[in-house]
Each structure stands twice: as structure tokens, then as C-alpha cells.
Amino acid sequence: LQIVHQVQHHIDEYLKQENLFLISNTNSLLASLINEHDAPFVYEKIGHYIKNLMIDEFQDTSQLQWKNFLPLMQNVLSEGGFSLVVGDVKQSIYRFRNGDWQILQNDIAQQFPNRITEHTRVENWRSQKYIIDFNNALFTTLQQTIQPLFSNYFENHIIADDDPRKTIFETLYKDVEQRYTKKTKSGGYVRIDRVGDESDTKITADEYAEYIKTSCIDFIIELHKTGYKPEDIAFLVPKNGDISKIVTFCNEAKKEHPEYKDIFSIVSSEALKINSSKAVQFIIAFFQWIDTPNCKVTRATLLRYYGLLVKREDELLPLSQFSEIEAVCKKIMHAGSIFEITDLFIKKYNLGTIPEETAFVHSLQDTIYTFSLKQANSISLFLEWWDENNDSLFVSQTDIKGAMRAMTIHKSKGLQFKVVIMPFMNWSFVNSHKNISMLYTDDTAFDEMSMIPLALKKDLIKTQFSEQYISEIMQIFIDNYNKLYVACTRAEDVLYMTYSPNFAHKHSNTAMNFLLESTITALKTNTSLSLHESKEELSRIFTVGNLQKLEVDSSKEPTDSDTQTMEEYAVFKSHAHLLPIPEARAYFTYPDTNTSQKFGLRMHRILEHIRVASDVSAVVSEFVVRGEIDISEQKELENYIVQKISDKSVADWFSGKYKILSEQSILLPNAKERRPDRIMIQGSHAIIVDYKFTQKKEEAHRIQVSEYQSLLHDMGYTTEGFVWYCLLQEVVAV
């Protein structure tokens, strides 16, 4: 705890020094403000005039969030407003993020007695008939199985009959059954593989993995033959580590079944990391070479990807061949902004024409563009940022075509798939050696600390923490019931899972395979469910319904006219004018046209960001990166601005000796505002300047600056005012 305290102290110090605030602390900050002030006043101050309130996914609300929502909800109701909260306790699976289903189940009714109207929606609009039937039977039976399992978990300790935890599963899951809708399709297919023989011989992890690989490969081929596409299929697993196992056997299947290699394409969050792309690594290696050109490791890395992607050679190229790429890189590295350099590199080596790399290259350029806008147009700074952030950058999974998906059950919440495959239904609920939970210290000798970390060993039932221990085990059972519920209800047409009752578990009576074995045994006697059983050499297979040929609704199938496939990354053409003809060049020929007016507006925005003369190059470069100025005009415009601000009549304004306020609003008593182009403050003296890009001098310009002077004088400043006619290079004192 001391270590944790010190870590937190250093984090707080760092945030203070860097003037940063963690988003995760927002709820705590808001809670502290509400504690100190009247809640409606706080919400009003941040601009929220809320008459009605709706909160979705309410089962995942934390106690701190509820503490913040509650006064707002009370205020809305007191003023005659309407509040709606939507949630499902059965889908509460984010307790590790402090989600608390008890707020939806109990707290909200206690806070608003006699003011709640409850509407239970049990229609299933997603799944076909046999999927709904199976899930209804499974979770109704599981509810009856898990309640006594929980009650008897504590051996000699008996939970009192009047303790709500005695019947918690019956209470929470009384409405677990779902109903058909008018649009529910007949059909659907459920398959459950029970792996292992009838003896008590334990099956090893390797044996189980081999069965999963063989059965899943055969099942995917069968799905393909009935019309399902790879993008219709999702693997759902209990933890991230299982995803790599799925990806591995799919890659092996491509080699074992070359005739079906396309249907075994699979993507996961790991596979969609931008840094997993060879083309992206090639570009990053190029940046690293620019940053450290003499580093041998950098040269070797750049040459390695050059060989793989350009030469198409798997063998390592000798460093003696580096001169081939070095000459090209030297020409590209000074081509312009970091975005343009990258574009030219992509074009030179045709990286955008490699189909499997296109999405990654596109995502990297989006990342570079965003970085250039928000932070700096610097390769060195980008590499520093990349080192810290590249592991959290992903290509979007939206509308993935031609590949199956693999994800954790937690990531699947809110999604749906035609086919759901769950091959690892053997996870343990409670592992006393790994499960360390933070237990509250109420009514214990340790109440000076609000919480304390403890391993969930059964001996805790004999300690001062017995009540906390029982509640924590209850929460773990609910977490796992809900996790299974979320997974099984993702399926539209097909649900396939495998488990083994003989899988080695130290805590076998609190593992998912044990629960499934008990539940499947009970389901065999369920007359409302047509559960068929067949025996194979290594397993028994239970099925509901039949795997039928997929009926494709041609009206919903995309056509060539409404879909477009990006065959390659579209490289930016530096000489193509994507925006109107740059105003900077047009000014010199047509100083009095509308183009000149546009040029004036552009110059206003550029001068707004120039504090001192040395800012010119960086500011103009930023406008180039943003696409507002063509790169071909960059040097010309820089020279033009430097010439203007170097003139002896204005050079002092850009010397750096003043505090600069650019486009700073001055609020008037009547709620209107005035905004001088530039205010320069030194002590109690203020110089006000307005830029004018016109050939005509007008009295209205002087009157405008005079008004600014008057406002600054009222603030206590002595003032000077000037109108700077930039085109005439003339300064008029006011």
C-alpha cells in the first residue's frame, strides 16, 4: 500500500507540473464540486439546462457516477421533467471498471419511492427461433443450478434465510426468458461439443486445444458450404490471451486446406494495430533514419523492410546495398511537411498498392496529419510520440469484409453476428491464488483504511471479513453468469461452443465447464427443448435445430453501384490545387479583386499566430500542413511576411519585448464585444494595432481603433493606437 501511495503521489506531482488532468478523475472532480455547492447551480454554470434526462446502459453506472447523476435527476423531476434510465442487470459485465448493477436493481427505487414506472422489454429482435429457445432453457436452468452452488460454496457457513443473497439469482434473473417478435425467423442452430470420454480421466490443455482446432476448422468449412461468409463469423473468448490461439490455428488451417485458405482469414484487435503492418514499419524506419542517419540498427531495419516490400525477398539484404535506398531517401526527406514526405515515400515504393497494407498506410497518414495539426510538424517529435502511443493505434473494424473476427466477450457487448463460436468454455470463476480483491473494512479492526487487498481463500469465512467475502464471491458468480449471457445472446443464426467436464481445474466446482455440464444434463430432460445428442470418438455433441443453407436477402446485399473498394492508397499530388488558387500569388497581379480580400483574411489568420519575427516559418508551415496554403507558395509567402514585419515602422512590434494578445475579445456591458487584431502590453502601457489589407485609407478605420483605445483606457492602461495598411506598408497613428 505504501508503494501504491508513492506511485499516486508522483502521478499527482507530474500532473501538477505539466498542467494536466486525467479524464478518469472527472467524476471525482464533479463529485467534489457538488459536495461544495448546490448541484443545480454547478450544472447551470457549465451550461447544462437539462429538462429531461435519459441514461442508457445504466447497469454499468459506477457509484461515483450515480452520486453525480442523482442531484441532477432530482432537480429534473422537481421541475416536472421526465427521466428515463435503460439497463439490463444481466448484461452488467464491467465491474472491473466500477460498474455496479445494484444501482439499477435497488438504489434508484430507494431514492425515488413511488415515483418509478418500470417497463420490462423481453423481446429478442436479433436471434432466430431456436437460438432464443436454447438461451431461454439454458439460463433458466443455469439460474436454478448456480443458486445452490453459491449457497453451498462456503461449506459449513450457512447463509441466513432472510439474507437477500440467499435468493439473489432468482431475484436478478426472474425475467431471463426472451420472447419472439413478429419478425423472428424460424430456424437457427445450436451446437455444443462436450469434449472427453465418460471416465474421469482428465483431458490436458494440449489435447483440448487440438480438438478445438480440428472441430472449428471442420465447422468453418461446413459453414462456408452452407453460404456463410467469413465476415459473418465471430470467435468470442474469455480473455485476450485466447485470441492468439484462434489466430494461430486459422493460419495453420490455410496451409492444411489451401483450397479454403480465403475463408480462414481472421482479424483481431492485435492484428489491426497500425504498428503490425510491414509498410508502416518501413515508413517509421525511414523516419528513424532521417532522425539518426548514422545508426546501424536503423539502417538495417530500413533495409530489411525494403527487401521485404520492394525487392520481395525474404532473405536479409547486405548493408552494402543500403546506398540504393539512401539516395532516394535523401531526395524525399526535404520535400516539405512530414505528411508530404510520407506521401512521396509511399508513392516511390508503391506501398499504397499492396492490398493488405492499404488500410494501415491510410491510418498512419491520418495519424500523422492529426499529429501535425495538434502538436508539431516535426519528425523527431512524432517519433517520440509514436514510441509512447503506437501500441494503442488501430485500424477501424467497421464493416470488415472477407475476414472472421476474434474478440473477448467484453468487447463483443452491443454487437451481433450471424455465427458465434465460443471454443474456450472452461474458465474458472475463483482462483484463490490469483483473485486478489479490494474488500471494504467496515466493522473490522482495520477500518482506518477504507479498503484492503486480500486473496479470496476460503479461510476468509472465519475472519472479520466473512461478510465482505460472501458478497465478493456473490459478485464473481454474477459476473460470470452475465458474461455467459452476453456471449450467447450475440448470435443471430448459429451458436457453437465447446467445453470439457474433464478439463483439469483446481477449483472445478466453480468453473464454467462444471456449470455447463450440470446444466446440459438438466436440459436433456427439458421437454420444451429438442436437444439431440450424438456420440463421436472424442466427444458427445448436443444440437438444437439444423444448420441450414443461408438465405441471402438480395435487397440487402450491396451492389457495385453502392460499394467502392479502395484498391490503393491515393497519394497526394503536390502540384494539384485541391483548394482555390492560392491567394498569396493572386494578390500580386490582382490587388483589388475579391481574391485580394481572401488574401487579406488569410493574412489576418497568419498574423494572429505570429508573436515574434522568428515565428514566421513555423506558422506558415502549419498553414501548409492544414492545406490552407499550397506548398509551392510557402517560401514566397514567408519572404513576403518577413519583408513586411521587418520594416522599421513595425519591427518593434515583433521584437518579443511585449506581451501579445491577438484577436482578444473585449466584453462590453451590453454583452457585445470588440476584438482588436493585436494588443501589445508593456507594464501599464498598451499599443493597439488593426491590420488593413486595402489600398484605400478610411476614417472608419481610425474611429474603430480609437474605440479600442478608449476601452483599454477604462481598464487603466495608457494607450497608443495604429492602423497598419499592410499593402501600402504605411502605419497611421490614431
CATH of the domain at 682: 3.40.1350.10
Share of the chain above pLDDT 70, in %: 88
Q: Quick one: 279 and 388 in the same domain?
A: yes
CATH code for the domain in which residue 358 is found: 1.10.486.10
Last residue within a domain, chosen from 364, 392, 420: 392
Decide if pLDDT at 706 tops 80. Answer: yes
* N-term to C-term CA, the chain: 67
Q: Quick one: 49 and 73 in the same domain?
A: yes
Nearest to 477 by CA among 507, 441, 440, 438: 507
CATH code for the domain in which residue 106 is found: 3.40.50.300
Tens of pLDDT, residues 345-397: 998 898 888 877 888 898 899 999 888 877 777 888 899 899 988 888 888 76
Cβ contacts of 318 within 8 Å, gap of 6 or more: none
Last residue within a domain, chosen from 111, 126, 150: 111
The DSSP letter of residue 503 is B
| 157 found inside a domain | no
| 616 found inside a domain | yes
Q: Quick one: 102 and 9 in the same domain?
A: yes
Tens of pLDDT, residues 460-469: 888 898 889 9
Q: Quick one: 376 and 285 in the same domain?
A: yes
Tens of pLDDT, residues 608-640: 889 898 888 888 887 776 667 777 788 888 889
* Span 634-663, average pLDDT: 90
Q: What pLDDT, on the 0 to 100 scale, is given for residue 562?
A: 47
Q: Quick one: 18 and 93 in the same domain?
A: yes
Domains: count for the chain: 4
| 337 found inside a domain | yes
Q: What pLDDT, on the 0 to 100 scale, is given for residue 680?
A: 94
Q: Quick one: 590 and 677 in the same domain?
A: no
| 566 found inside a domain | no
Q: Quick one: 661 and 622 in the same domain?
A: no
Cβ contacts of 484 within 8 Å, gap of 6 or more: 142, 512
Cell matching residue 334: 526535404
Q: Quick one: 612 and 704 in the same domain?
A: no
| 18 found inside a domain | yes
418 versus 527: the higher-pLDDT residue is 418
| 103 found inside a domain | yes
Question: Residue 569: exposed, middle, or buried by beta-carbon count in 10 A (0-12, 13-18, 19+)?
Answer: buried
Tens of pLDDT, residues 516-565: 988 998 898 887 888 999 998 888 999 999 999 887 665 555 554 444 55
Q: Quick one: 630 and 657 in the same domain?
A: no
653 versus 3: the higher-pLDDT residue is 653
Q: What pLDDT, on the 0 to 100 scale, is given for residue 596?
A: 59
Long-range contacts of 356-360 (CB under 8 A, 24+ apart): 357/277, 357/278, 357/279, 357/280, 357/309, 358/566, 358/567, 358/568, 358/569, 359/395, 360/274, 360/276, 360/277, 360/279, 360/280, 360/395
Question: Residue 507: exposed, middle, or buried by beta-carbon count in 10 A (0-12, 13-18, 19+)?
Answer: middle
| 561 found inside a domain | no
Q: Quick one: 278 and 385 in the same domain?
A: yes
Cβ contacts of 314 within 8 Å, gap of 6 or more: 307, 308
* 307: containing domain: 274-392
The pTM assigned to this predicted structure is 0.68
Q: Quick one: 631 and 714 in the same domain?
A: no
Decide if pLDDT at 481 tops 80. Answer: yes
Q: Quick one: 637 and 658 in the same domain?
A: no
| Average pLDDT, rounded, for the chain | 84
Q: What pLDDT, on the 0 to 100 scale, is given for residue 42?
A: 65
Q: What pLDDT, on the 0 to 100 scale, is given for residue 569?
A: 60
Last residue within a domain, chosen from 85, 111, 137: 111
Decide if pLDDT at 566 tops 60. Answer: no
Nearest to 712 by CA among 687, 691, 682: 687
Q: What pLDDT, on the 0 to 100 scale, is given for residue 44?
A: 64
| 303 found inside a domain | yes
Residue 389 and residue 97: Cα distance in Å, rounded?
22
